[in-house]
Chain A
């Protein structure tokens, strides 16, 4: 269904003709970014490239007026695009400025298409660091642009829901709301108030994924960075390694016989506040991070690693403030590992590898490899958030689903060991199962739905909370009654702030009548 010409012309008037296109070669690449095993979807009617909040607002208002939907995205890695007829894409690529880095108040303000790598590099020059979305530093630095915005730094650098300060939001129907101090003083340091915090309606422990208007600018907390302003990397892609390991930096990987021992270690490390990063990667992820040649090399390393680990484990990264701080943290780490029976993975501490691990984990450049470097549709399940032990148990239960599917050949065998992460010194946790669908499977989408259904059943029956892959009317309607009918309240938000349903929200919730 083509757009009406007057609507299209109005878009051209807002943006300039070179920044809007309905040519099939343009719209096709937004609709079907990943092909294998995935059904072809209809395209967006047009792609727009605004460069300012003013232009975004104008597009949103135009869509509301003409009853055309829109879907905004920035770097757009997660496939929540759901291109469809009568819907246009707002590609925020041209909104790519870092607006402010306030070193003393430790926050940064970005537009949606600043990527994590850029913001982090600028922060590091100033002795600061930012949490990056775990999907990688190629993703937007805007915490609201992610699915969740948990990242490697979440042990000490929390995640988007908590790091968010002031923000600017174009609502579903085109109003501009500036949160917190931004609305009152044109300052970015606080996102809450006056009075109740509107941050509560625009995200929870997961995001509306483009289904509730457009976030055009946001401030986020920054953290101290004790490392060098610029990490000295040598080598040629992909064989990079740092020229040296900065003083006070250390990375280790420890595995444990039993999950409970690992949980114990994680909580102890959290309470002792010694780890800068703590991620319970599994052996497959550690191997993929190291491999540079091809997936066959990755498999070899994985085999070696999985023979060397005794069970679930974690990567711990220390970046200390001083020599004394470093010595103290190392001592405490060893004491905890000794108490809990952790076994080190020697390859990680091998000086040849250690620097690379440290840098890749801080800069989150290995996430793409960790989640799959070759052709294989991805699948998985994403837990919610609550206590670290709970999330560990949830993912352990879900990993049995993965194990069954590996056994029957539906999933690639990279082990069923879960991936869990500790947040804010172990106060909360989160877990995921990452998987690659076998190329023999004819309908990967169906398999993913089955995985979701299995994990949802586990979560409901065993009281593991609301997973973060619950999106869409169908899933919210199924889940909501088990969790205080939250879906009805979510629907009210959608109806209130996007009364015309202009923000395409098949990966959020719609305002359909109950």
Chain B
């Protein structure tokens, strides 16, 4: 849908400001009620979900131009979807979708952010959205004898993702995931240097044609492989394959699972048994694109009826963040002997973003760090020794934030702790 097609949703906004806060039923105190990093940081209403609805309508009506300030507001958003979830507690409307369309419109009309152009150029030229080249994507797996899914028959494609493949600090996650899958006897493979960037972050940044290009290439490769299941350790990739590809009718019957979903399933099937004690108290951070943003896409074909009030024929179901992946990572953590899981105030569908999404790492690293520091402070209040999460982007941002803040907290991915227990 284009921005114009989201018009009636944008006009549904009633300026109630719930997009700024966690769902009101979940407020348990003064602290940690803000859910939108953008307005919490920049304060003007334009930065929140509701403000962006007004912005979108105003762009359509040409009451606003693509000024530097407008672009600054547009690109200072992690695209975390918290506003969407909080709004949709009550409202029948879309929020993150039109926000994304505003970005797409900016890009289409040539109003981009140079830092993001650089990222996309890297995607176009090097096939990756992080520093590095496509050809080096498989280097992490050297010596591990993992099947090549482009050449051998596998049941499961393990999609590693740009960051994990190309950032040596993240290789351990890929290796651990592979090791766990092996231990569970899974017939899996990787594409190695033939792995394509999922394109999800490109979509968030507004570069829709680039995303679609990546998506088509990926699905071609997957179809050729005949694998029925794709597993990834990256929440952004997970969201891309599961939701975005489905949105554009590209996913087909592919089963897309996050590594935590898959490992939780394997535990239930008895194929993985955490036995060793891991004595640590941890707070789990829900990655936005594994949690609220990863709710399965709902295909709806019908019409909007503007008769009386706006309703839909047939009735439209909204993705409200209800069916994101919240429990499997927690189930894994709870299955680890000796591990104590404590919860932060903002969790699950109303988790505070780690700060890495939406291109913010590139366009405004200071805002990214500010966002992650807020989350680190929140984690510190739980008494936990570590933050655990399930996305390499979150892991990276937390590590950076913790070192900047000189916090005592450690950072783990869920699979790291599971590996210690197996």
Q: Assess A/B contact in the complex (Cβ within 8 A).
A: yes
B-contacting residues of A (Cβ < 8 Å)?
19, 21, 23-26, 28-30, 32-36, 40, 47, 49, 75-77, 79, 91, 93-94, 98, 114-115, 117-122, 125, 136-138, 230, 233, 236-240, 292-297, 299, 359-360, 363-366, 368-369, 372-376, 378, 409, 412-413, 436, 438-440
- Binary contact track B296-328/A, C-beta < 8 Å → 1, others 0: 000000000011111110011110111110100
Whether the pair B14, A77 counts as a contact (CB closer than 8 A) is: yes
Whether the pair B89, A365 counts as a contact (CB closer than 8 A) is: yes
Evaluate whether A376 and B58 lie within 8 angstroms (CB atoms) in the complex, with A237-B320, A365-B24 already known.
Answer: no
* Chain B interface main SS type: loop
Evaluate whether A24 and B33 lie within 8 angstroms (CB atoms) in the complex, with A136-B16, A138-B21 already known.
Answer: no
Whether the pair B11, A375 counts as a contact (CB closer than 8 A) is: yes
- Chain A residues whose CB sits within 8 angstroms of the CB of B311 once the complex forms: 294-296, 299, 374
- Chain A residues whose CB sits within 8 angstroms of the CB of B320 once the complex forms: 237-238, 292
- Chain A residues whose CB sits within 8 angstroms of the CB of B88 once the complex forms: 237-238
Measured CB to CB, the closest approach of chain B to A233, in angstroms, equals 6
- Is residue B248 within 8 Å, beta carbon to beta carbon, of the partner chain? no
6 smallest A-B Cβ distances: which pairs? A33-B15, A296-B315, A117-B27, A376-B309, A368-B90, A375-B310
Whether the pair B67, A24 counts as a contact (CB closer than 8 A) is: yes
Whether the pair A372, B21 counts as a contact (CB closer than 8 A) is: no
- Is residue B330 within 8 Å, beta carbon to beta carbon, of the partner chain? no
Evaluate whether A19 and B310 lie within 8 angstroms (CB atoms) in the complex, with A115-B21, A125-B29, A138-B17 already known.
Answer: no
- Excluding A29-B51, A238-B90, 14 further A-B contacts by CB distance (< 8 Å) are A29-B45, A40-B61, A117-B27, A117-B33, A136-B16, A138-B18, A237-B88, A237-B89, A237-B322, A238-B23, A374-B309, A376-B310, A439-B306, A440-B308
- Chain B residues whose CB sits within 8 angstroms of the CB of A372 once the complex forms: 14, 309
Whether the pair A34, B27 counts as a contact (CB closer than 8 A) is: no
Across the two chains, which residue of chain A brings its CB closest to B58? A28
8 pairs from A and B in contact (CB 8 Å cutoff): A23-B70, A26-B46, A29-B44, A35-B11, A119-B30, A238-B89, A293-B317, A378-B14
Whether the pair B27, A373 counts as a contact (CB closer than 8 A) is: no
Whether the pair A373, B90 counts as a contact (CB closer than 8 A) is: yes
Across the two chains, which residue of chain B brings its CB closest to A135? B16
- Chain A residues whose CB sits within 8 angstroms of the CB of B318 once the complex forms: 293-294
Measured CB to CB, the closest approach of chain A to B384, in angstroms, equals 19
Whether the pair B13, A28 counts as a contact (CB closer than 8 A) is: no
Whether the pair A40, B63 counts as a contact (CB closer than 8 A) is: yes
Measured CB to CB, the closest approach of chain B to A253, in angstroms, equals 20
Whether the pair B12, A23 counts as a contact (CB closer than 8 A) is: no
* Chain A interface main SS type: loop
Evaluate whether A121 and B28 lie within 8 angstroms (CB atoms) in the complex, with A25-B67, A29-B55, A374-B310 already known.
Answer: yes
Evaluate whether A240 and B63 lie within 8 angstroms (CB atoms) in the complex, with A30-B45, A413-B308 already known.
Answer: no
- Chain B residues whose CB sits within 8 angstroms of the CB of A239 once the complex forms: 322
Evaluate whether A29 and B54 lie within 8 angstroms (CB atoms) in the complex, with A91-B45, A296-B315, A365-B24 already known.
Answer: yes
Evaluate whether A369 and B90 lie within 8 angstroms (CB atoms) in the complex, with A138-B24, A238-B320 already known.
Answer: yes
- Chain A residues whose CB sits within 8 angstroms of the CB of B323 once the complex forms: 236
Whether the pair B54, A295 counts as a contact (CB closer than 8 A) is: no
A-contacting residues of B (Cβ < 8 Å)?
8-18, 21, 23-30, 33, 43-46, 50-51, 54-55, 57-58, 61, 63-65, 67, 69-70, 73, 85-86, 88-93, 306-312, 315-318, 320-324, 326, 348-350
Measured CB to CB, the closest approach of chain B to A322, in angstroms, equals 25
Whether the pair B46, A29 counts as a contact (CB closer than 8 A) is: yes
Evaluate whether A33 and B315 lie within 8 angstroms (CB atoms) in the complex, with A28-B54, A28-B64, A238-B90 already known.
Answer: no
- Chain B residues whose CB sits within 8 angstroms of the CB of A409 once the complex forms: 308
B43's partner among A19, A33, A369 (CB-CB below 8 A) is A19
- Chain B residues whose CB sits within 8 angstroms of the CB of A77 once the complex forms: 14-17
> Complex: how many Å from CA A36 to CA B18?
20
> Complex: how many Å from CA A233 to CA B320?
17
- Chain A residues whose CB sits within 8 angstroms of the CB of B44 once the complex forms: 21, 26, 29, 47, 49, 91
A376's partner among B23, B54, B55, B308 (CB-CB below 8 A) is B308
A294's partner among B13, B14, B45, B316 (CB-CB below 8 A) is B316
Whether the pair A136, B24 counts as a contact (CB closer than 8 A) is: yes
Across the two chains, which residue of chain A brings its CB closest to B71? A25
Whether the pair B25, A233 counts as a contact (CB closer than 8 A) is: yes
A25's partner among B55, B85, B91 (CB-CB below 8 A) is B55
Across the two chains, which residue of chain A brings its CB closest to B291? A236
Across the two chains, which residue of chain A brings its CB closest to B40? A93
Residue among B13, B44, B58, B349 having the largest count of chain A Cβ atoms under 10 Å: B44
> Complex: how many Å from CA A376 to CA B350?
27
- Chain B residues whose CB sits within 8 angstroms of the CB of A136 once the complex forms: 16, 18, 24
> Complex: how many Å from CA A299 to CA B305?
15
> Complex: how many Å from CA A76 to CA B318?
27
> Complex: how many Å from CA A454 to CA B222?
66
- Chain A residues whose CB sits within 8 angstroms of the CB of B317 once the complex forms: 293-294
Across the two chains, which residue of chain B brings its CB closest to A137? B24
Whether the pair B92, A26 counts as a contact (CB closer than 8 A) is: no
Whether the pair B321, A236 counts as a contact (CB closer than 8 A) is: yes
Measured CB to CB, the closest approach of chain A to B299, in angstroms, equals 16
Whether the pair B25, A25 counts as a contact (CB closer than 8 A) is: no
